[in-house]
Amino acid sequence: MATIQGNDRDALADKEQLAAVRVAVDEVDEQIVTLIARRERLIKIAGTLKGDDAEVRAPDRVEKIIEHVRSAAVKKDIDPDIVESTYRAMISGFIELEMRVHKQNS
């Protein structure tokens, strides 16, 4: 009967650990999607309350959000550049959504 030896045992342990990490990442992704859904609901409401396209695009507000999330990232000791790039992509998508909602309600 064959037994698991040295490097094979380490490789098996690494695969098991990787599988566990992937499960945890999937759980975090589910939480993130739930929060994005909440943000989407709020953005749709905001889109009905704004007066014009410039108010929807609000570049000053975008930069305040970026400043806020970068600061939050630093406090949590995570890479603020990753947080910023993630938020810029998300905000861009939400501005498009908000523009559609705004136009429908104008």
pLDDT over 90 at 2, yes or no = no
Contact 74, 92 (CB under 8 A): no
Full-model pTM: 0.84
Helices 59-75 and 80-104, axial angle in degrees (round to 10): 150
DSSP letter string, 44-62: HHHHHH-SSHHHHH-HHHH
DSSP string across 28-41? HHHHHHHHHHHHHH
pLDDT of residue 68: 98
For residues 98-102, give the mean pLDDT: 94
Domain boundaries in the chain? 52-106
Instruction: Report the chain's terminal Cα–Cα distance, integer Å.
Output: 75
